[in-house]
Amino acid sequence: MPKKRLHYGITLRLYREEKVFGPGVAELLETIAATHSLRSAAMRMDMAYSKAWKVIKAAEQGLGFALLHNAVGGKQGGGATLTVAAEDLLARFRAFEAEVNQAVDAAYDRHFSDM
């Protein structure tokens, strides 16, 4: 039986005292941006609304700024949009993640390309 190629895994997270931001929060924000709704984003990610709300609130507390603008429901319906600070953080995180992945790929190839 042929051996599967050796590979690695890496997950980036940002911390202050505790973890404040990572790929899960980033995905949740991206899904909120696409759906304009925390509830819809939670459903799309197969996550309870209460958990999604807690994830956002914990990230906001750790980061020290709001991630969402919320509109209360009504005739036009409610919704959520990302704050400018959230859009900026998300763009920086994804750029950082891409840069780190490129560097790690290169290091992996230097050290393990024969495995």
The secondary structure of residue 6, as a DSSP letter, is P
Query: 66 in helix, strand or coil?
Result: coil
* pLDDT tens figures, 96-111: 999 999 999 999 999 9
What are 22's two structure tokens?
């990572």
What distance in Å separates the CA atoms of residue 94 and residue 89, rounded to the nearest whole number? 9
pTM here is 0.89
- Give the CATH number for residue 99: 1.10.10.10
- Average pLDDT of the chain, as a whole number: 93
Please give the single-letter amino acid code of residue 70.
N
Query: For residue 8, is it within any domain?
Result: no
Domain membership flag for residue 70 = yes
Q: What is the pLDDT of residues 49-103, one digit of tens each?
A: 999 999 999 999 999 999 999 866 655 667 899 999 999 999 999 999 999 999 9
Q: Is the dihedral of CA 77, 84, 86, 56 positive or negative?
A: negative
Average pLDDT over residues 4-16: 93
Residue 36, in any domain of the structure: yes
Domain membership flag for residue 113 = no
Q: Assess if residue 100 is contained within a domain.
A: yes
Instruction: Report the number of distinct structural domains present in the chain.
Output: 1
Per-residue pLDDT tens digits for 20-55: 999 999 999 999 999 999 999 999 999 999 999 999
